[in-house]
């Protein structure tokens, strides 16, 4: 999922860290207030027009600072020690350190006031490491009433992916109140969704997955589903993500999102018009690169789309029933869930509506009848077995002899 496996976490003495960047200080300097900062960080703060000490917020009578040579020597000794006992470890000044709760509180206060983009990105990176570290850390941030609104504001007010990506990563990690998050994003108009769309288009694999997951999380009612589905580009980009050459985790996340928003009839029509069924067909016919979860969700989405006339027409018309073949191929082959979705789709096409003989022909062509006969004798649910019986009757093979039945089913082994 794109996680950097080489990250190293080092416990750093708190007084070695700059109160602004929270990094180990490379060149510690002290202000007249007695507080020590890394030279680069405090210089940026002062150059930004500030006339206060960031830690104490006291007005500075002078902006002069002096090197803290004693602290610099101590940091050097500690740095050398870490280097000796951790062979191959990175420079401690750039180590990926997890901030404490107290340090995080300080960072959150500064994040809402900071104007320097570099420092804001540093703070967001620390929050990401904090939330990734433990459930307790995630609960700590979820409990802060003003935290999620601040992240939503960051997403809505910047077009820069480098800011949007960590904000989305944090939201995906904490999984707070979906209704609250949804309402906050909807209140920002289209700005949030524009930023998330850019993250999907330009972000790395992990950012794409997290962005789609957050969209899925905030689809809590008909209104939110329609607002998101009708935002220019989101539906189109999400459908692109379920291509067979995409990462399986990304395909699964995208399918989950599409399933969620497809509960709206209007959205189903949009999905059908956008050729989602063609993408699903390709997944169902590409067995060697498909996971169980992706297959199950592909069939579930196809089942939802088959509830509309144009959906059924599209399914039957896909390369003369190739999509139906893909459905039949998943019977008794993947999982109980996949089989139930597949049978429901076929039942809808061949028994309930019977608008196109293409589906029945595809079932017969792919030895679907044999599989349906096996299902009647299997431990599938009563409902699924009944649908299998209905399908067999429709295809008019209910007069098949017992001997033929045994011959056909000899080599069939359910998943």
What would the pLDDT profile of 322-331 be if each residue is shown by its tens digit?
999 999 999 9
- The whole-number average pLDDT for the span 96-124 is 83
Tell how far CA 97 is from the center of its chain: 25
pTM above 0.85, yes or no: no
Work out the pLDDT band at 92, boundaries 50, 70, 90.
very low
Per-residue pLDDT, 403 = 39
Closest by CA to 349, choosing from 385, 408, 302, 386, is: 302
pLDDT for 6: 43
Q: What is the pLDDT of residue 205?
A: 92
Cα separation, 414 vs 290, whole angstroms: 18
Task: Give pLDDT, residue 289.
Answer: 62
Q: Smallest Cα–Cα separation from 2: which of 185, 293, 171, 205?
A: 205
- Bridge-based pairing of strands 66-67 and 36-38 is unpaired
The pLDDT value given to residue 9: 53
Find the range with the poorest average confidence among 240-249, 373-382, 403-412. Answer: 403-412
Q: Which backbone phi and psi does 169 adopt, to 5 degrees?
A: -60, -40
The domains of the chain, with CATH numbers, are 14-87 (3.30.40.10), 93-274 (1.25.10.10), 305-397 (no CATH)
For the ranges 10-14, 44-48, 108-112, 376-380, the lowest mean pLDDT is seen at: 10-14
- Of 52-61, 78-87, 142-151, 197-206, the one with minimum mean pLDDT is 78-87
Per-residue CA distances from 98 to 103, 137, 185, 197, 237 (Å)? 10, 10, 29, 30, 34
Q: What is the rounded average pLDDT of the residues 233-255?
A: 92
What HEC string does 111-130 produce? HCCCCCHHHHHHHHHHHHHH
pLDDT beyond 80 at 345: yes
As given in the structure block, the two tokens for residue 371 are 């599989």
Which residue in 370, 414, 413, 411 sits closest to 392, CA to CA?
370
CA terminus-to-terminus distance, the chain: 29
Q: What are phi and psi of 86, to 5 degrees?
A: -130, 80
pLDDT tops 80 at residue 4? no
- In this prediction, residues 68-96 reach a mean pLDDT of 65
318: Cβ contacts below 8 Å, ≥ 6 apart:
277, 278, 281, 324
pLDDT band at 159 (very low <50, low <70, confident <90, very high): low
pLDDT for res 364:
87
């Amino acid at each position: 999922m794109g996680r950097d496996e080489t990250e190293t976490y080092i416990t750093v003495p708190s007084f070695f860290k700059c109160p602004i960047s929270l990094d180990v200080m490379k060149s510690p300097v002290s202000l007249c207030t007695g507080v020590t900062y890394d030279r680069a960080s405090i210089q940026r703060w002062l150059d930004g027009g500030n006339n206060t000490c960031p830690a104490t917020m006291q007005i500075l009578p002078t902006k002069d600072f002096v090197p803290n040579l004693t602290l610099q020597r101590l940091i050097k000794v500690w740095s050398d020690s870490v280097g000796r006992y951790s062979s191959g470890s990175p420079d401690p000044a750039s180590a990926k350190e997890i901030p404490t709760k107290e340090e995080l509180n300080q960072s959150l206060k500064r994040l809402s006031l900071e104007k320097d983009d570099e420092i804001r990105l540093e703070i967001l990176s620390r929050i990401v490491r904090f939330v990734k570290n433990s459930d307790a850390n995630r609960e700590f941030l979820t409990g802060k009433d003003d935290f999620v609104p601040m992240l939503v504001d960051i997403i809505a007010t910047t077009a820069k992916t480098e800011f949007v990506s960590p904000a989305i990563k944090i939201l995906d990690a904490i999984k707070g109140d979906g209704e609250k998050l949804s309402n906050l994003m909807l209140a920002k108009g289209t700005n949030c969704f524009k930023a998330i769309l850019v993250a999907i288009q330009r972000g790395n694999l992990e950012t794409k997955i997290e962005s789609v997951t957050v969209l899925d999380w905030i689809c809590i009612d008909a209104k939110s589903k329609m607002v998101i589905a009708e935002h220019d580009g989101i539906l189109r980009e999400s459908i692109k993500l379920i291509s067979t050459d995409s990462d399986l985790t990304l395909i699964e996340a995208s399918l989950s999102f599409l399933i969620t928003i497809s509960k709206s009839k209007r959205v189903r029509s949009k999905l059908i018009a956008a050729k989602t069924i063609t993408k699903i067909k390709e997944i169902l016919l590409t067995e060697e690169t498909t996971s169980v979860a992706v297959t199950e969700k592909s069939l579930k989405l196809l089942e939802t789309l088959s509830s509309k006339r144009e959906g059924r027409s599209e399914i039957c018309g896909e390369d003369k029933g190739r999509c139906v073949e893909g459905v039949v191929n998943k019977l008794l082959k993947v999982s109980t869930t996949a089989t139930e979705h597949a049978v429901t789709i076929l039942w809808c096409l061949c028994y309930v509506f019977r608008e196109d003989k293409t589906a029945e022909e595809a079932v017969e062509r792919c030895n679907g009848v044999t599989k349906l006969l096996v299902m009647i004798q299997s431990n599938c649910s009563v409902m699924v077995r009944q649908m299998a019986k209905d399908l067999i009757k429709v295809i008019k093979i209910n007069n098949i002899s017992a001997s033929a039945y045994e011959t056909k089913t000899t080599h069939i082994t359910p998943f």
